[in-house]
Structure 1
């Protein structure tokens, strides 16, 4: 559970019951609470990018979600479900470091009912059957769930929708409050996992992989469809041995007899944009992320800008490794994609 050092509440959020309750809760916790007259946030006073980043990661903003047009979310889902913005983790490679470079804090919303009503309109269009929503496109929602209960409300909401599904991914392990919800198997919970080498080097402030797999075991036992996002896959000395060991951990720790659905896998190799590299090196000056452009291939993506990716030969190696390793799992699984 995330315990912020400072909380800022947009004035409009106090018109909602949740906003009032959270204000009292944080005051009772003796956490400083300031009221913002508008949704403009300009309180990060650090002298450097690094200092603003560190301050922001300890800040929680409570606000009202005003933009209720959902963005597309390929290849994960049809639409984003914007429950939270920002993340408490400090993963060096994360694209949120670029998208939220001036706003590294986490923002939660008090008008969850409005967000779910908008989701209903997208479902009713019948454009996709079922309509799939991604609850973690702009955040990791688990660390702030004890405050918002946004996931719990969304899971039970989608549990009643015959033509819609919810899915989200997390690196965090506080899933106990989700275990007894009426999900009706309409929500897929995925866990982002990686090797110990990658987690120790780049995923600062996040649980170890064994803890994540143990959390996955809990939600499997609770009847949820479960998946794993193995990303980003890095090439480094002994990378093959490490990723095969990761697959072996899944084999050893997951409960075969409890599975109601095949385990899904989404496997994404490391890639970066020039903009992302620039900002990452501003925040993490000593970063050891492998971002040497001469060792990569430049490729244009679906959003009109280019990324540096591993070569076709390396991607082929990654595919071969994971297809081989996953074949040894003793339970049903489905590889969504390896890219």
Structure 2
């Protein structure tokens, strides 16, 4: 798919002392993107839905001053940010409830500072291996063309004895990573789903076929790989569609013999998320019927509406069987 280009870019004046910041501004200027020097992003739409749409086309280039990283279980030991928010408009996204009415993208350019923070966490956990998740609040691949920071991270971890990187993406612009000597220290995981789910609910993301082709490229480049199948949904013909998904993935990775991991996440929503989704996507076809779900207490102090046990068990058993039948080198890390 085409690279994301914002409608407007706000830049924190502090970024101009960083090479990455100056390069990002030059890149946007060459594309005639309007640039405003300010430490405040102003988005004034006609409605909450309009604010959301405008924010998804705005970026704020700034610095990341975070020194202490948050834990990120079960994915990794810690999460860190090269950016926040992303260009995608996934109707079900859990970030709907954490990034406010105007989820514009922040892009951080002080990469050396960020890598120093990672190194401090690695040192404090020595001699254990420390793993870091780069995609908890963003999609770093979607915004990589603006900074090149993910490539720098992969190169950093390639030389790290005790640090490991995990990347998650729904985008296919992976060519800049293919010639890196990564030393198997970065693991790429692709978020995949059926064609139905992607086309209905994952707007402005790479297509089903684009993601599988990108996964094949990354696998052929020798990276450890994995897949997050999420959110798994029950709808008409869902079993057939998930069977097609795993069959197609098998054909793409037919010659890949290293371990492939899978993370399985059923569709869930909170009451707050439902309210926001219906405001932003009033014509959504997401199944948000609370009467068809049960409540599950979440790790962040909120109840989630998940599928009843009988349905979630059927879902888990079906996807597990499809994975195990298609991939002799598969490991399912969790189902939730």
* 1:286 match: 283
The TM-score, its normalising length taken from structure 1, stands at: 0.95
Contact 1:91–1:203 (8 Å) recurs in 2: yes
Determine whether 1:323 maps to 2:325: no
The count of corresponding residues between Structure 1 and Structure 2 is 334
* 1:308 match: 305
Does the residue aligned with 1:235 lie in a helix, a strand or coil? coil
Q: 1:88: how far off?
A: 0.1
Determine whether 1:247 maps to 2:246: yes
298-307 vs 76-85, which moves further:
298-307
* 2:330 match: 333
* 1:208 match: 207
Matches within 5 A, 1:184-199: 184-199=183-198
Contact 1:195–1:243 (8 Å) recurs in 2: yes
Q: CA RMSD in A?
A: 1.3
Write the deviation string for residues 267-298 of structure 1: whole angstroms up to 9, x where unpaired: 10001111111111111011111111111111
Matches within 5 A, 1:93-242: 93-126=92-125, 129-242=128-241
Whole-angstrom distance in 1 between the partners of 2:158 and 2:22:
28
* 1:30 match: 32
Structure 1 unmatched runs, 5+: none
Whole-angstrom distance in 1 between the partners of 2:19 and 2:323:
47
Write the deviation string for residues 205-263 of structure 1: whole angstroms up to 9, x where unpaired: 1121111011000011100001010000001111111111111001111142x43x311
Whole-angstrom distance in 1 between the partners of 2:6 and 2:137:
19
Contact 1:70–1:82 (8 Å) recurs in 2: no
Contact 2:23–2:147 (8 Å) recurs in 1: no
Write the deviation string for residues 28-65 of structure 1: whole angstroms up to 9, x where unpaired: 221111000x2x33x11101111111111111210011
Q: 1:67: how far off?
A: 2.3
Determine whether 1:271 maps to 2:268: yes
Write the deviation string for residues 56-100 of structure 1: whole angstroms up to 9, x where unpaired: 111121001122321111111110021110110000000122211
Whole-angstrom distance in 1 between the partners of 2:270 and 2:238:
23
Q: 1:102: how far off?
A: 2.7
Does the residue aligned with 1:211 lie in a helix, a strand or coil? helix
Contact 2:324–2:330 (8 Å) recurs in 1: no
* 1:90 match: 89
Structure 2 unmatched runs, 5+: none
Q: 1:127: how far off?
A: 6.5
Q: 1:20: how far off?
A: 2.0
Q: 1:12: how far off?
A: 1.4
The TM-score, its normalising length taken from structure 2, stands at: 0.96
Q: 1:182: how far off?
A: 1.6
Contact 2:86–2:143 (8 Å) recurs in 1: no
Q: 1:330: how far off?
A: 4.5
